[in-house]
């Protein structure tokens, strides 16, 4: 036990002495948490709206005004013809073109029916879908009002059947994306820092030559590994703490669930990440190699964690792969506990998998750390 | 010149000898583009929902069948009362609950109006919103079906045209982003680490006292990575065409040229990082924290830039990846050429020059 | 006689694939002896030494170090030996004192023992001025003296020194050897590899390795007589000039640089 203490002491000294690294470990991730959480939103607003009004009547202008008044659309241009409009869309200057045909109002009065052209830049498919919903809504409302005004006694009144929906958004009534992203990005930063620090640590001593010096001492494998990992485990928990304070104070994210449960789960989760880092460290000869491997896993873990895009939407085979992704469990648990107040029994499946993962990874790490070759 | 070529050869040997790293450098982009191309999507599929049906009549059954038969939803459970909703959500199993009011059918026929309550788990706001939109559109279809005998006067029909991606495929949005990230990270990180490695081991000084000029040393270190990155870019483009059926509407030659430009931008950023880091660990951490997340989040690859707060929108302008994503989408999906993309291209060139100038300046200060 | 041998090696062999780095070497080292282990770069000295200090597994052969078997009892060997590698192996980013505390600590020394040793070491080497400075900022000669003292912290029976004086000036080398003599006088056995032939003269006995084999082993005086040479340098050149001495293919010892 005392021997482990000496290693821990030494690691802490080395970490805190490295003035260049300290801000990278502590400050930069938290600044990122603040900045990136603001950026990570799927909300569609400020849609660049443009139109071609070939009718040019008060009726057509009223329709354009409706778009202008909507909080989702920013009116950026009126084009004289399709040619200019298309060119602007190619340039990326506009997202939506509304094309009001000539005799728009007349046709509606005469034939009781008229068409309207809408062009949407659909490269971002999901945004295009949402934009389409907004456009349809505005046009339908406009249509409803117009109908009331234009309705003649001769037009048969026939009330359609109507199903009303009332949507309530639980756990996040205002659909605040920060509530969703902050716990996730926090998870990510904690993982990123601890994985890379632990992944590079032992291989660094290997490269410098101090590892050999350690290997000729009678120190036991487990003593060395625990001593090495403990400081990073602590750093992970400190990062979590600062991150939670930021979440609460700056983003005002509700922390519904138990803090104790969050820390308990995180402390087990960190063992998984440290085990992976150590395992990578043991299998590589240079920091460069260790870093590439850590980086590869990190990007895969990150983009397949359900942090940015839902796991449920992935193809089945990809969902199987995510079963091996520790970040996925951490993201789920943090969101469940923080936002919904889930209890230990709710997160039990994730916990058990994480625990199993921790045991396996650290087992592999200890096994693959060779004092002798 | 001969010396210089000899030096480049040495760098190549370094890379090729290290089989493990080489394998990662070449294999990783392939694995990633395939994995992410398929897996990253924000379309929703088979979302688990629960039903709380207070009327249990013909109409509610019809609506439930409609929803169950869509590919978007699968009905996980029927619950009996309101108190069970909370429990169901907490387990994280279901994403939404549909509540049909009492006497649904009766109200619909008598009063022409009946209501459904949709409760969504908005801890994921995007999914919550999408779910609500999809359920509403299924209900709209159902209404149209039951109202088909009623002819409405004065109807304005929007004819919507989705251009550049008529099928609204997520892949078209994400593949250019994934390409950008892979190129950016591989090029910038590899160069920064490889140069700071020489610094850490003191071999940089040996190179600097050699008759090679400092810029030759740096170029020599970078050339192999340029070639490696071009190879990666080629593989990624091929995969996106063959596997994901991405079109290349514009000129292939232009695409290649822009790729090379972006690779050089990334490499020069890598060189800049290496000038401020005295060892590999620092180079790596800087690359990671300044490149990885900002590139993913601020490049417009996943999250729409126009929805960000204005100050962040301003920040996105200094992210090289943002401009490259625009260029890639422009060439591949819109089929535009330099006449539309000159601004983005100039910005990338400008950034590259800026990174190189700054590196040279930093470098000189260090030598003094 | 037997009990006085602190190192006893019989046909010790290490192979890396097809390449035999150490080829069935046999020798013994007596208690309190300064034993020189000589050889050209790549001759296999470091590999042989790594087997003796328990960080490399022999392919075959026997070796008993400080009374313990290298196959079965490596932890006990490690408790009884000190090691200083040719790569300077203290932590550059720790101070002199912190390095002493750390290595003392992992050898299981008690707190007051560490304190005592630290004071003693700092006084002996006259390091009062730099005791709280980072090791990385000290000149190489000092670092090596400190590294040697650190290797002795736990009073080992044998100290293994792998090219301890590489890259330092002659005066420091002389001082270093004085430290070695003092240590040997206290009964500690010194096992040292070097390729400075003048240093070989300071050893009680030397062995010369060529291509993984021990080609000669005796006192410097007798070796000079036997090979009819005026100094050890000539002895070495005569032995090493055998035509087989070209650099071995493959990466035999991955230590020489």
pLDDT digits (tens, 9 = 90+) for A269-306: 999 999 999 999 888 888 878 887 888 888 888 888 88
For residue B221, give the nearest of B43, B1, B24, B13 by alpha carbon: B13
Interface membership of A302 toward B (CB under 8 Å): yes
Q: Which residue of A has its CA nearest to B32?
A: A300
User: Phi and psi (nearest 5°) for C195?
Assistant: -125, 20
Give the least confident one: A93-107, B135-149, C9-23, C90-104: B135-149
User: In this structure, is the dihedral angle defined by the CA atoms of residues A226, A231, A234 and A236, taken in order, positive or negative?
Assistant: negative
Find the mean pLDDT for residues A56-83.
Answer: 92
Q: Give pLDDT, residue B325.
A: 93
pLDDT of residue B138: 87
Domains of chain A in sequence order: 2-40+177-368 (no CATH), 47-150 (3.40.1710.10)
User: Residue B21: its chain A contacts at CB < 8 A?
Assistant: 288-289, 292
E-assigned strands of chain B?
Answer: 47-53, 73-78, 96-100, 113-121, 155-163
Q: How does pLDDT run across B55-96, given as a tens digit for each residue? A: 888 889 999 999 999 888 888 889 888 888 888 887 767 889
Lowest mean pLDDT among A135-149, A244-258, B40-54, B195-209: B195-209
Q: What is the DSSP string of B18-70?
A: -HHHHHHHHHHHHHHHHHHHHH------SEEEEEEESS--HHHHHHHHHHHHS
Name, in order, each residue with C-beta under 8 angstroms of B46's C-beta and a sequence gap of 6 or more: A312, B71, B72, B73, B74
Q: Is A18's CB within 8 Å of C76's CB?
A: no
Give the A:B interface size as CB pairs under 8 Å: 372
Secondary structure of residue C132 in the 3-state scheme:
coil
Class of CATH domain B47-146? alpha beta
Task: Give residue B364's pLDDT band: very low, low, confident or very high (50, 70, 90).
Answer: low
Q: What is the pLDDT of residue A221?
A: 85
Higher local confidence (pLDDT), B318 or B145: B318
* pLDDT tier for residue A179 given thresholds of 50, 70 and 90: confident
Strand ranges, E, within chain C? 5-16, 19-30, 34-39, 60-65, 68-69, 81-84, 158-162, 189-194, 205-210, 213-218
- Chain B positions in Cβ-Cβ contact with residue A168 (cut-off 8 Å): 117-120
Are A160 and B164 an interchain contact pair (Cβ–Cβ within 8 Å)? Answer: no
**Confidence category of residue B39, pLDDT binned at 50, 70, 90:** confident
Q: What DSSP state is assigned to residue C211?
A: T
Specify the 3-state DSSP secondary structure of C144: helix
pLDDT cut 70: percent of chain A above it:
97
Range with the poorest average pLDDT among A177-186, B120-129, B210-219, C6-15: B210-219
DSSP code of residue C3: G
- ipTM, two decimals: 0.79
Span between the terminal Cα atoms of chain B, in Å = 27
pLDDT tens-digit readout, A324-371: 999 999 999 998 898 888 889 889 999 999 999 999 999 998 888 877
3-state secondary structure (DSSP) of residue B183: helix
Q: Residues of A with CB below 8 A from B309's CB? A: 38-39
Residue limits of CATH 3.40.1710.10 in chain B: 47-146
Residue A158 to chain B, least CA–CA distance (Å): 7
A-chain CB neighbours of C53 within 8 Å are: 216
B293:A45 CB<8 A: no
B17–A contact, CB cutoff 8 A: no
Return the partners of chain B (3 or more C-beta pairs < 8 Å). Answer: A
**Would you call A299 and B32 a contact, using CB atoms and an 8 Å cutoff?**
yes
- Which residue on chain A is closest to B197 by alpha carbon? A288
**Residue C247 pLDDT > 50:** no
pLDDT tens per residue, range B197-256: 888 777 777 777 777 777 777 788 888 888 888 888 898 889 888 888 888 888 999 999
Do A124 and B304 form a contact (C-beta atoms < 8 A)? Answer: yes
pLDDT the model gives residue A270: 96
Give the model's pLDDT for residue C246.
45
| Torsion angle defined by CA atoms of residues C199, C204, C208 and C212, in that order, rounded to the nearest 10 degrees | -110
Q: For position B45, what pLDDT does the model report? A: 77
Residue spans per domain, chain C: 2-240
Q: What dotted CATH number matches C2-240?
A: 3.40.50.300
Q: State the smallest CA–CA distance between residue A270 and chain B in angstroms.
A: 19
pLDDT in tens, B287-340: 877 887 788 888 888 888 888 888 889 999 999 999 999 999 999 988 888 988
pLDDT tens digit sequence for C190-221: 999 987 888 888 899 999 988 889 988 999 99
Tell how strand C34-39 and strand C19-30 pair up.
unpaired
Task: Report the alpha-carbon distance of residue A299 to residue B221 in Å, rounded.
Answer: 26
Q: Which has the closest alpha carbon to A301: A338, A268, A276?
A: A276
Residue in chain C lying closest to A16 (CA): C93
**Which of the given ranges, B14-18, B204-208, B362-366, has the highest pLDDT on average?**
B14-18
Helices (H), chain A: 2-17, 21-22, 28-39, 58-69, 82-91, 104-111, 125-150, 177-208, 210-215, 221-249, 259-283, 287-303, 316-322, 326-340, 348-368
Q: Residue A153: count other Cβ atoms within 10 Å of its Cβ.
A: 6
Contact between residue C50 and residue C31 where contact means Cβ atoms under 8 Å apart: no
pLDDT-above-90 percentage for chain C: 34
Closest residue, chain A, to C147 (C-alpha): A213
Mean pLDDT for the stretch of residues A181-207? 88
Q: What is the layout of strands, in order, in the sheet containing A96-100? A: A73-78, A47-53, A96-100, A113-121, B155-163
Q: Which of A219, A220, A371 sits opposite C55 (nearest CB)?
A: A371
C55/A18 touch (CB, cutoff 8 Å), yes or no: no
C-alpha of C163 from chain center = 7
Q: For all residues of chain B together, what is the average pLDDT? A: 84
Which of A164, A18, A219, A45 shows the shortest CA–CA distance to B308? A45
Q: What is the pTM of this model?
A: 0.81
Tell me the per-residue pLDDT of C11-21, one tens digit each, with 9 for 90 and over: 999 998 888 99
Contacting residues of A for C109, CB less than 8 Å apart: none
Please give the residue that has the higher pLDDT: either B6 or B236. Answer: B236
Decide the pairing of beta strands C5-16 and C60-65: antiparallel
Interface of C with A (CB under 8 A): 53-57, 74-76, 78-79, 81, 83, 85, 87-94, 98, 101-103, 105-108, 134, 160
Mean pLDDT of A168-189: 84
Judged by CB atoms closer than 8 Å, whether chains meet at C108 and A213 is answered as no
CA distance B117 to chain A (A): 5
Look at residue A316 and tell me whether its pLDDT is greater than 80: yes
Cα dihedral sign for B296, B297, B303, B306? negative
Is the pLDDT reported for residue C253 higher than 50? no
Q: Report which of residues C88 and C205 the model is more confident about.
A: C205
How far is C-alpha A246 from the geometric centre of its chain's CA atoms? 17
How distant, in Å, are the alpha carbons of C28, C111, C231 from that of B316? 71, 55, 73
Nearest CA in chain B to A63: B156
Who has greater pLDDT, C173 or B365?
A: C173
- A-proximal residues of B, 271-300, CB under 8 Å: 277-278, 280-282, 284-286, 288-290, 292-294, 296-298
The CA distance from A156 to A153, in Å, is 7
pLDDT of residue C257: 34
Of C55, C76, C102, the CB nearest to A215: C55
- Cβ separation A339–B21 shorter than 8 A: no
Which residue of C lies nearest to A9 if distances are taken between CA atoms?
C102
- Partners of chain A (3+ Cβ pairs below 8 A): B, C
**Of A204-213, B288-297, C130-139, which range is least confident?**
B288-297
Q: Which residue numbers of A have CB closer than 8 Å to C's CBs?
A: 2-3, 5-7, 9-10, 13-14, 17-18, 208-210, 212-220, 223, 371-373
Residue of A nearest to C104 (CA): A6
Residue A151, number of CB atoms within 10 A of its CB: 12
Mutation target to probe the A interface, by most A beta carbons within 10 A, among C55, C82, C95 is C55
Helix (H, G, I), strand (E, B) or coil at B182: helix
- Residue B293 is predicted with a pLDDT of 78
- Higher-pLDDT residue of B123 and C83 is C83
pLDDT tens figures, C46-81 = 899 989 998 888 999 999 999 999 998 888 898 899
Do B and C touch, 3+ Cβ pairs within 8 Å? The answer is no
Comparison of pLDDT for B327 and A125, the residue scoring more: B327
* Subunits close to C (at least 3 CB pairs below 8 A): A
Over range C135-160, report the average pLDDT.
90
**Chain C residues within an 8 Å CB radius of A1:** none
Whether pLDDT at B347 is above 50: yes
Using N-to-C axis directions, what is the helix angle for B214-242 and B170-200, rounded to 10°? 160
- Interface contacts A/C by beta carbons within 8 Å: 80
Q: How confident is the model at residue A38, as a pLDDT?
A: 84
What is the Cα–Cα distance from A306 to A320, expressed in whole angstroms?
13
Is the pLDDT at C242 greater than 60, yes or no?
Answer: no
* Cβ atoms A50, A98 nearer than 8 A: yes
């Amino acid at each position: 036990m005392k021997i482990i203490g000496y290693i821990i002491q030494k690691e802490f000294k080395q970490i805190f002495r490295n003035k260049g690294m300290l801000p990278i470990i502590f400050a930069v991730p938290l600044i990122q948490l603040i900045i990136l959480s603001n950026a990570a939103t799927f909300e569609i607003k400020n849609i660049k709206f443009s139109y071609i009004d070939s009718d040019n009547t008060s009726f057509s202008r009223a329709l354009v005004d409706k778009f202008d008044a909507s909080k989702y659309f920013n009116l950026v241009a009126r084009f004289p013809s399709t040619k200019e409009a298309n060119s602007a869309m190619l340039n990326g200057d506009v997202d939506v073109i509304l094309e009001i045909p000539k005799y728009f109002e007349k046709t509606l009065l005469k034939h009781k029916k008229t068409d309207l052209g809408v062009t949407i830049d659909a490269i971002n498919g999901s945004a295009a879908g949402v934009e389409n919903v907004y456009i349809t809504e505005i046009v339908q409302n406009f249509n409803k009002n117009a109908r009331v005004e234009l309705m003649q006694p001769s037009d048969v009144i026939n009330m359609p059947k109507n199903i009303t929906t009332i949507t309530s958004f639980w756990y996040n009534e205002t659909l605040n994306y920060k509530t969703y992203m902050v716990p996730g990005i926090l998870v990510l930063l904690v993982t990123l820092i601890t994985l890379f620090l632990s992944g590079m640590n032992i291989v660094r001593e290997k490269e410098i030559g101090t590892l050999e010096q350690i290997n000729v001492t009678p120190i036991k494998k487990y003593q060395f590994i625990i001593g090495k990992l403990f400081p990073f485990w602590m750093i992970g928990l400190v990062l979590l703490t600062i991150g939670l304070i930021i979440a609460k104070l700056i983003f005002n994210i509700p922390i519904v669930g138990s803090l104790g449960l969050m820390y308990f789960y995180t402390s087990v989760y960190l063992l998984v990440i440290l085990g992976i880092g150590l395992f990578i460290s043991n299998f590589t000869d240079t920091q460069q190699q260790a870093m590439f491997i850590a980086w590869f896993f990190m990007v895969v873990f990150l983009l397949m964690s359900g942090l940015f895009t839902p796991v449920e939407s992935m193809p089945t085979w990809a969902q199987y792969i995510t079963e091996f992704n520790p970040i996925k469990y951490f993201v789920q648990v943090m969101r469940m506990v923080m936002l919904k107040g889930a209890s230990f029994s709710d997160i039990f499946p994730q916990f058990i998998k994480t625990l199993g993962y921790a045991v396996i990874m650290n087992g592999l790490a200890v096994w693959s750390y060779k004092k002798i070759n | 010149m001969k010396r210089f070529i000899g030096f480049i050869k040495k760098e190549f040997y370094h890379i090729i000898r290290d089989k493990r790293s080489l394998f990662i450098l070449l294999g990783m982009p392939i694995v990633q583009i395939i994995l992410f191309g398929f897996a990253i999507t924000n379309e929703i599929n088979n979302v688990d929902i629960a039903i709380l049906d207070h009327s249990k009549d013909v109409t509610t059954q019809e609506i439930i069948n409609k929803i169950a038969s869509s590919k978007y939803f699968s009905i996980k459970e029927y619950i009996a009362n309101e108190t069970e909703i909370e429990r169901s959500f907490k387990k994280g199993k279901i994403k939404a609950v549909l509540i049909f009011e009492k006497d649904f059918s009766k109200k619909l026929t008598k009063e022409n109006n009946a209501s459904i309550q949709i409760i969504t788990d908005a801890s994921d706001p995007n999914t919550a919103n999408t779910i609500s939109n999809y359920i509403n559109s299924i209900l709209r279809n159902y209404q149209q079906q039951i109202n088909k005998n009623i002819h409405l006067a004065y109807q304005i029909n929007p004819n919507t045209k989705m251009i550049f991606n008529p099928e609204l495929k997520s892949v078209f949005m994400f593949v250019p982003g994934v390409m950008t990230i892979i190129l950016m990270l591989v090029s910038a990180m590899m160069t920064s680490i490889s140069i700071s490695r020489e610094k850490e081991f003191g071999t940089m000084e040996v190179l600097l006292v050699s008759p090679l000029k400092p810029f030759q040393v740096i170029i020599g270190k970078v050339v192999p990575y340029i070639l490696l990155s071009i190879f990666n870019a080629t593989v990624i483009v091929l995969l996106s065409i063959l596997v994901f059926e991405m079109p290349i509407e514009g000129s292939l030659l232009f695409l290649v040229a822009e790729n090379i430009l972006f690779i050089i931008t990334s490499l020069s950023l890598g060189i800049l990082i290496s000038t401020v880091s005295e060892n590999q660990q620092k180079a790596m951490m800087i690359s990671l924290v300044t490149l990885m997340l900002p590139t993913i989040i601020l490049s417009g690859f996943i999250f729409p830039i126009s929805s960000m707060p204005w100050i962040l929108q301003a920040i996105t302008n200094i992210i090289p990846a943002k401009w490259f994503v625009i260029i890639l989408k422009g060439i591949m999906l819109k089929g535009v050429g330099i006449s539309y993309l000159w601004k983005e291209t100039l910005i990338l060139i400008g950034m590259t020059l800026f990174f190189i100038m700054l590196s040279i300046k930093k470098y000189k200060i260090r030598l003094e | 006689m037997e009990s006085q041998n602190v190192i006893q090696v019989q046909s010790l062999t290490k192979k890396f694939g097809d390449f035999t780095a150490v080829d069935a070497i046999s020798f013994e080292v007596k208690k309190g002896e300064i034993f020189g282990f000589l050889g050209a770069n790549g001759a296999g000295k470091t590999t042989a030494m790594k087997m003796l200090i328990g960080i490399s597994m022999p392919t075959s052969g026997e070796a008993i170090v400080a009374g313990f078997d290298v196959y079965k009892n490596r932890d006990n060997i490690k408790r009884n030996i000190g090691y200083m590698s040719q790569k300077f192996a203290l932590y550059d980013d720790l101070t002199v004192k912190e390095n002493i505390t750390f290595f003392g600590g992992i050898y299981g020394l008690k707190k007051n023992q560490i304190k005592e040793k630290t004071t003693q070491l700092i006084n002996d080497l006259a390091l009062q001025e730099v005791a709280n400075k980072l090791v990385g900022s000290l000149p190489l000669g000092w670092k090596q003296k400190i590294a040697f003292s650190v290797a002795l912290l736990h009073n080992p029976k044998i100290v293994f020194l792998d090219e301890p004086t590489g890259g330092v000036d002659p005066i420091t080398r002389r001082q270093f050897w004085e430290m070695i003599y003092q240590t040997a006088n206290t009964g500690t056995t010194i096992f040292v590899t070097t390729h400075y032939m003048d240093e070989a003269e300071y050893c009680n006995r030397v062995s010369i390795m060529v291509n993984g084999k021990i080609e000669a082993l005796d006192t410097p005086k007798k070796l000079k007589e036997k090979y009819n040479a005026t100094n050890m340098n000539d002895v070495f050149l005569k032995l090493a000039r055998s035509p087989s001495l070209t650099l071995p293919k493959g990466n035999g010892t991955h230590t020489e640089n």
